[in-house]
Amino acid sequence: MLVKICIDDNIPLVNIVRTKEQVELLKNIGAKYVCNTSDENFKETLVTALIETGATLGFDATGGGNNGELPGQILAAMEIASNSESSEYSRYGSETYKQVYIYGGLDPSPTILKRSYGMSWGLGGWLLMPMLKKIGMEKFQEMRVRIAKEIKTTFASGYGQEISFEEMLQPEIIKAYAQQKTGNKFLVNPQM
- Residue 76 forms part of a structural domain: yes
- Reported as half-sphere exposure (CB side, CA atoms, 13 A), residue 40 has a value of 0
Q: What is the extent of the structural domain holding 82? A: 2-125
The type of residue at 15 is N
- Residue 104 forms part of a structural domain: yes
Residue finishing a domain among 109, 125, 141: 125
Q: Are residues 121 and 165 in the same domain?
A: no
Would residue 65 be called left, alpha or beta, if left means φ above 0 and alpha means ψ between -120 and 50 degrees?
left
User: CATH number for the domain including 73?
Assistant: 3.40.50.720
- Residue 49 forms part of a structural domain: yes
- Residue 18 forms part of a structural domain: yes
Q: Are residues 29 and 103 in the same domain?
A: yes
Q: What pTM was computed for the model? A: 0.85
Where the chain has pLDDT below 70, the residues are none
